[in-house]
Amino acid sequence: MEDIKSKIGKGGLLLAAMGIMSIILSIFNYNLRLLAWIDLWGNTMGWVIRTLLIVGGGALFLFFGRDEDDDDI
């Protein structure tokens, strides 16, 4: 079970990183190929999706990415 939680946490970190990279690259009118569909829905919806990627990925990492042993510090 611990292995699954760790993978979910790493996936959340990846989602958040992709959201941040998408924001940085969108400033230069470029985007990740995997996230090119975001801007097809319009500029405002693209920013909403990017924000949700960061918040959702960060939440997954916060809840599942840390080991229970780290709480003792």
31 neighbors 38 (Cβ within 8 angstroms)? yes
- Per-residue pLDDT of the chain (73 residues), as tens digits, is 668 888 999 999 999 999 999 999 988 988 888 888 888 888 899 899 999 999 999 999 999 987 665 555 4
Please report, for residues 8, 12, 42, 71, the alpha-carbon distance to residue 22 in angstroms, rounded to integers and kept in the order given: 21, 15, 15, 32
pTM of the model: 0.80
The region that residue 42 occupies, defined by phi over 0 for left and psi between -120 and 50 for alpha, beta otherwise, is left
- Kindly report the backbone phi and psi dihedral angles of residue 42, in degrees, each rounded to the nearest multiple of 5, phi listed first: 110, 165
- Enumerate the domain spans of the chain: 2-72
Neighbouring C-beta atoms of residue 5, cutoff 10 Å: 15
